[in-house]
């Protein structure tokens, strides 16, 4: 059976919902909640970057890009 991969957005939503639940139930302090949310956002950005690079590496290179890393940097690096 093939396991469905999660997109960065799906992972982000699931992770934020877990931290929201823990905070609402009193399992996590406000300070820890804020730290956790910042960490989740950073991880989601990293995951999205990796998914973009992997997808690009799997298709034929078009234009002047040599690989997914170069494509990501030229396309998204200035947006961060």
| 3-state DSSP of 26-79 | CCCCHHHHHHHHHHHHHHHHHHHHHHHHHHHHHCCCCCCCCCHHHHHHHHHHHH
The model's pLDDT over 14-31, given as tens digits with 9 standing for 90+, comes to: 999 999 999 999 999 999
Both structure tokens of 56: 């690009």
- In eight-state DSSP terms, residue 20 is H
pLDDT-derived band at 1, boundaries 50, 70, 90: very low
The domain locations on the chain are: 8-79
pLDDT for the residue 31: 97
Q: Are 40 and 11 in contact (CB under 8 A)?
A: no
Residue carrying the six token digits 């960490």 = 39
pTM over 0.75: no
Per-residue pLDDT, averaged over 47-64, amounts to 76
């Amino acid at each position: 059976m093939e396991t469905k991969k999660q997109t960065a957005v799906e992972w982000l939503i699931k992770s934020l919902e877990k931290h929201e639940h823990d905070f609402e139930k009193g399992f996590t302090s406000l300070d820890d909640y804020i730290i956790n949310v910042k960490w989740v956002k950073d991880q989601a950005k990293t995951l999205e970057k990796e998914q973009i690079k992997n997808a690009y590496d799997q298709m034929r290179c078009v234009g002047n890009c040599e690989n997914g890393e170069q494509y990501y940097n030229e396309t998204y690096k200035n947006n961060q």
